[in-house]
Structure 1
Amino acid sequence: MRYLIYICFLISFTINSQESIDAALINSTDIKIDQIVALDNFETFYYLQDNILYKQNKDGTSINYSNYQLGEMSTANAFNSLKINLFYQDFNLVIILDNRLAEIFKIDFNTAQPYKNVSYVSTGFDNTLWVFNIDFQQLELYDYKTNKTRFSAIPVQSIVLSLESDYNYCWLLTENYLYQYNYFGSMISKIENTGFTQISKSNGHLILKKEDTLYFKHKKKEDILPINLPKLLINQFLLTNETLYIYDLEKLHKYQLKIN
């Protein structure tokens, strides 16, 4: 019995004392694009090239969307493939596309009542977007069908670096803190930012970048652990389930994370 207890203690200690995350290289693919938007479980690839959004299927067929009248596309979010949102910050405007990249909604924050001056946009649940309102320095959950703000967070006191979301949560990274909100708008965590500049999410897990290193935060744990990777130029990174993609401007590297 003592022996069994001792073994259980060792297993528990090993799990709880994990100090880093290992990553096994699956493959590397030559690619030259401006920006990766998303890679889903069906190997559908969304990317930007010359201010055009492309959707490339597993079989190599692709479709695209462009709107040069709106200038440069600031961000593209394909988390919900049925409601892809494209943000054009210079025009303070969002275009919503369906899965065929056809326009289904246009959101002009200049004509919204009240007016919104937006710097970040991310996907919400139903007909909502998470937006960061520069004038009030606050995160808002905006229903673009009813033109109503469902939730406004307490204003933040530092520069916003990144905004990520899924149907259940939203993460706001500022120079001082990483905030997490649920879809009701309640803040459920606030972690001091110790130098992270970018984030990516999948299924509640987070990947964070600090200088030339990537870190992993499990959705059920507070620890933020470094990922063991070879020295790479990390231009972009994405997390899909437990698969980490890193783009170095020449190759797209695919890694399997080994998460305890």
Structure 2
Amino acid sequence: MGFIRFLFLLFSTVLVAQTSIEVTAIDTTPIKADQIIAIDNFDTFYYTVNNILYKKPKDKTPINYSNVQLGTPTSINAFNPLKINLFYQDFNTIIILDNRLAEIFKIDFNTRQPYKNVSHISTGYDNTLWIFNQDLQQLQVYDYKTDKIRATTVPVQSRVLDLKSDYNYCWMLTENYLYQYTYFGSLISKFENKGYTSLAIHNENIILKTNTLLFFKSKKSETIIQLKTPKLLINQFLLTNETLYIYDSEKLHKYQLKIK
């Protein structure tokens, strides 16, 4: 009887251990920014103040970019530092910058046929972007050099909340589901949205946010596990390798996340 009770307690402990992941605090840096865009493996820091994008390499003077005509970007993606894309939803326009923040390409969907009403974008492979076409309710792989759609997904039935990608996959969070697609536009996974509002990815690992909590999904598992983080205002969050960044509008908190 005692042995059975021991097994029960052991099994219960394992279950508890699987329901949350602890993170280890590394440091905290005071910073004032409107938006933290990205922090790469070399500690190059991308952020915005007003309508200006700053790129600050470690221990170097930052460089910046702004577009007076287009104003403040709706979203910025620096996954590929050689082709940083800025999306201005009010103008249905994308600006692509090189690693020195010089303009190398402009995509104005208002002047291209057929017309595309775009709400979200993210970096793709080669000369492509993932774009969500609101009129068709479809995610598309768009080649901006040839002005062609390379792949199209099946239409979704709920509002898109967030869109993230790497060279191989794209993750689209809607009010109902989290979808994962290949760069051919094929759906490979679909999870119910249990209150998630945004996501961050790195190396196919995912961080999901609800109003006050963060959750983690490993690329090696189908399970979504809560992260045990300090009680902070989570204005923004980023994932770089096994480092989790949380920005509370005044300080950038850095945590070690041991991914198994």
TM-score range, shorter chain: over 0.9
> Which residue is equivalent to 1:237?
237
Are residue 228 (structure 1) and residue 222 (structure 2) matched? no
Q: CA deviation at 1:93?
A: 0.4
Equivalent-residue separation in structure 2 for 1:63 and 1:194 (angstroms): 40
One-letter code aligned to 2:250: E
SS at match of 2:257: strand
| 1:21 Cα deviation after fit | 1.1
Q: 1:204 corresponds to which residue?
A: 204
Tell me by how many angstroms 1:16 deviates.
11
2: distance between equivalents of 1:204 and 1:186?
16
Deviation at 1:68, TM superposition (A): 1.2
Report the alpha carbon displacement of residue 50 of structure 1 after superposing the two structures with TM: 1.0
How does the TM-score come out when normalised to structure 2?
0.93
Any idea what SS the aligned residue of 1:86 has? strand
- Structure 1: tracts of 5 or more residues without a match: 1-9
Aligned equivalents of 2:161, 2:78: Cα separation in 1: 20
> In structure 2, what is the Cα distance between the partners aligned to 1:15 and 1:205?
22
Q: Tell me if structure 2 keeps the 8 A contact 1:71–1:90.
A: no
The within-5 A match list for 1:6-155 is: 18-155=18-155
Cα distance change, pair 69–204 in 1 and its aligned pair in 2 (3 A): same
Cα drift, residue 17 of structure 1: 6.1
Q: Could you tell me how far 1:35 is from its partner in structure 2?
A: 0.2
Q: Quick check: 1:21–1:259 contact (8 Å CA) kept in 2? A: no
**1:159 matched to 2:159:** yes
Measured in 2, the distance between the counterparts of 1:178 and 1:236 equals 19
Q: Measure, in 2, the Cα distance between the counterparts of 1:95 and 1:216.
A: 32
Q: Normalising by the residue count of structure 1, what TM-score does the alignment of the two structures yield?
A: 0.93
Instruction: Check conservation: 1:27, 1:255, Cα contact below 8 A.
Output: yes
Indicate the SS of the match to 1:110: helix
Q: Letter of the aligned partner of 1:45 in structure 2?
A: F
Matched, 1:259 2:259: yes
Q: Which amino acid aligns with 1:246?
A: I
Alignment of 1:154-193 (within 5 A): 154-193=154-193
1:176-200 CA distances to partner (integer Å, 9 max, x unpaired)? 0000001111110011111101100
Letter in 2 for 1:232: L
Structure 1: how far apart are the matches of 2:16 and 2:112?
49
CA contact (8 A) 1:212 1:233 kept: yes
Q: How far apart in 1 are the matches of 2:54 and 2:97?
A: 12
Aligned counterparts of 2:60 and 2:25: Cα–Cα separation in 1: 23
What code does the residue aligned with 2:18 have?
A: Q
* RMSD of equivalent CA atoms: 1.6
Q: C-alpha distance in 2, partners of 1:127/1:34? A: 29
CA contact (8 A) 1:64 1:101 kept: yes
Aligned equivalents of 1:39 and 1:178: distance in 2? 24
Tell me by how many angstroms 1:60 deviates: 3.1
Q: Which runs of 5 or more structure 2 residues have no equivalent in the other structure?
A: 1-9
SS at match of 1:70: coil
Cα distance in 1 for residues equivalent to 2:17 and 2:76: 38
The whole-number CA distance in structure 1 between the counterparts of 2:112 and 2:16 is: 49
TM-aligned CA deviation for residue 94 of structure 1: 0.3
CA contact (8 A) 2:50 2:72 kept: no
Aligned residue-pair number: 250
Please tell me the residue identity of whatever aligns with 1:130. W
- Larger displacement relative to structure 2 (15-24 or 103-112): 15-24
Using the TM superposition, give the Cα deviation of residue 76 of structure 1 relative to its aligned residue in structure 2, in angstroms. 0.7
Indicate the SS of the match to 2:90. Answer: helix
- Aligned-pair distance for 1:239? 0.3
Kept in 1: contact 2:132–2:139 (CA 8 A): yes
1:232-259, Cα deviation, whole Å (9 max, x unpaired): 0000000001100000011000000123
For residue 61 of structure 1, report the CA deviation from its aligned partner.
1.2
TM-superposed CA distance for 1:14, in Å, is: 5.1
Equivalent-residue separation in structure 2 for 1:80 and 1:48 (angstroms): 17
